[in-house]
Structure formats: structure tokens, C-alpha cells
Amino acid sequence: MARVADNGLVPQAPTPSAVFGAAFLALLGGALALLLPMVGVPLAAGALAWLAYRRRMIVAVVVAIAAGLALWPVDPAAVLYVSPWLIVAGPLSVLLLRRWRMTSVVLTVTVVLAGVMLGGIWYAAAANDLGLQAYVAEIVESATGPATETAIEAGQPETEVREQIEAVEELFLSYWPSMVLVVSGITALLSVAVVAVVALRSGQRVRAPLSLQRFDLSPHTAWGVIAALVLMAAARFGGEGFELVGTLGENILLIMRWVFFVQGVAVFAGLYERAGFSRASRAIGFVVLGVTEALLPLVSLTGLADLWVNVRKLPRDGSAEDGGGNGPISAAVGHDESSAEQASGSLEDPPDSD
């Protein structure tokens, strides 16, 4: 007897043309990931998830590997980082979403993506007989060089242009580790969201995250900010030899800023809900929050303060219910819960009969 998907329907086998189309989108996403991982990886993840949910998991993994190999003329090392990105964001997310809550999957995918990205940079630096920081500096200089020459040719004072470019280069060289983690986090969030949408479209069940209004960080998260401030203070008063310690503290602080930005957005989401704002008004409000944070860290500071103020009055004794946010959600309507639990929805090709 054939196994059924979580909504009680037998997954339809895709046609060869549909498989080819999904593979093409995955390859396109892999190519875009070289320049824009936040765009390319989610695109490929959605295509690979579509294959996986139609019992073509092995095909999805092969396509992810092929995407990296196809980029060999552009970057011979692409198979070492693009293929792992696609496998983690696509097939692995499919498997994890069957067992974990979406927030846990996003965190896991973020860590793996960041690790692969840092490993790729380290490998490229070693291949060029350079140190990690020296290799990053070389990349930054190659990127800013044309902009410098263009500005000078346009008639801008050469001294002023070079000072501005050097300031940008110094900023990037100091904060690139935290930038890698932030980019990985955004990429993971978008990829897992796309995979979850594909899952629901395919009749599968995924464990829903807490609603944004109820998202709440642990008070222990504040230790990240404290550690960052201690390291920065040590660099300030420690003199020479503590520059690296200060840079580490600044990177941690930048990462924690975006962590608390999510908490701050959740606070405002709760206020929007309490005030009865429409969806359109909330969307506009969230855009304003993003613009505000880009100028001043007011939203992230709100999130940090909420750890103690508890603006939304959320229970923090560990006995809070999820409010419907943690249970499984499905595209099926009115489906019997017991039969859904019995259905495994295997992603591999099951036998057609016992």
C-alpha cells in the first residue's frame, strides 16, 4: 500500500518536464548565489524542496551538487560552498521541518550557512597563500578600486575620495565576520520560509513558529551585549595588543543588534495587534521600523529594554502556552489529526504495494 502525504493524498509524481524546470530554477539560483546569496539560495531552495516533496529527494541532492559543478568555469571552488548551501537550505530544511519548529530550523540553517561561507573564504585564502584578513583585504581593494578611479575621473578631489574609500575598507575589514553571520541569517530565514510555503502547497505539514506578536527572547540573551561591551572596554583601556579583542566585541555587538531588532519588531507587532491595525497598516509600520533601524538603533534598543520592561506582558515563568503558534499546520482543511500522525509522508519513493 502506497504511503500518503500528511493531508491524506498520495503525492503525484512530477512529469519529466516539471523535474527539468525545477532543476533549471535550482541551477539558476545557484548561479545567483555567487553574487546575491539572499536571492539565489532561497530560489534554489524552493525548487529543490518541490522535488523533495514529490518523492525526488535523491534528485534534489544531485541537482544541488550539479549546480556547484556547473559553476566550475566561473569559480572552481563553487562546488565546495554553493552545493552545501543548496543542500542545507533545500533538502535538509525539508527533513528538519518535519521534526522541528521553523525557528529552530532557521537557527540551524544560519549556523551551517555561515560555517560553510567562512570555510569557503578560508579555503580561498589558503589557495592564494594569504592569511584570512589579507585575503579579505584583497577582495575589498579589488571591489573599491574601480569606484575610486571613477570618482577621481569624475573630477572629485583625489585625497578626499581616497580617504572616504579607505574608511569604507577599514569598516568592512573590521565587521566582515558579523556581516557573514547576518547575511547567513537573512538567507536562512528566506530559504526556510520558501520551503515551508512549498511544503504547504504540496500538502505537507510543518511545525509553525510562534506568532511574531509572541516572539520573546530569553533574558539570558542580554549576556551577549554585556560580553561585547566588556571586550570593547578591555580594548579601550588595555592599550596595544587588545585591538583584536575590541574588534571581536564590536562584531558581537553588531550581531546582537540585529537579534534584538527582531525582538523590537515583535514588540511593535504586539502593539499593532492590540491597537487593531489592519494588515496594510502593519506592513507600512514594519517598513518604517526597518528604515528607522538603518538610521538609529531605536528598534533594537526597544527589543533590549523589553527583556526587563516586558511591554507585551508575556508570561515568562516557563508555563506559557504557545497560543496555537507551535502546533503543526497543514494545507488540508478538516483533516483528522490522528490519521495525519499515522501518515509518514516519506520523501523517498515508496513501494507501490506491501
Note the pLDDT tens digit of each residue in 261-290.
989 999 999 999 888 888 888 889 989 998
Predicted pLDDT at 194: 92
Q: Which of 140, 107, 108 is closest to 121 using CA atoms?
A: 140
User: In which band, very low, low, confident or very high, does the pLDDT at 299 lie, cut at 50, 70 and 90?
Assistant: very high
Residue 30 to residue 44: CA distance in whole angstroms: 6
Residue 47 to residue 201: CA distance in whole angstroms: 13
Residue 211 to residue 191: CA distance in whole angstroms: 18
Residue 328 parent element (H or E): strand 328-330
DSSP state of 101: B
User: In which band, very low, low, confident or very high, does the pLDDT at 13 lie, cut at 50, 70 and 90?
Assistant: low
Which segments of the chain does DSSP mark as H helices, in order? 16-33, 37-53, 57-70, 78-87, 93-97, 102-127, 132-153, 158-201, 222-238, 243-275, 279-295, 298-309, 337-342
Give the mean pLDDT of the chain: 80
User: In which band, very low, low, confident or very high, does the pLDDT at 317 lie, cut at 50, 70 and 90?
Assistant: low
Phi, psi of 154 (to 5 degrees): -75, -5
Decide if pLDDT at 318 tops 70: no
The set of residues, in sequence order, having a beta carbon less than 8 Å from that of 254 and lying 6+ positions away, is 175, 178, 182
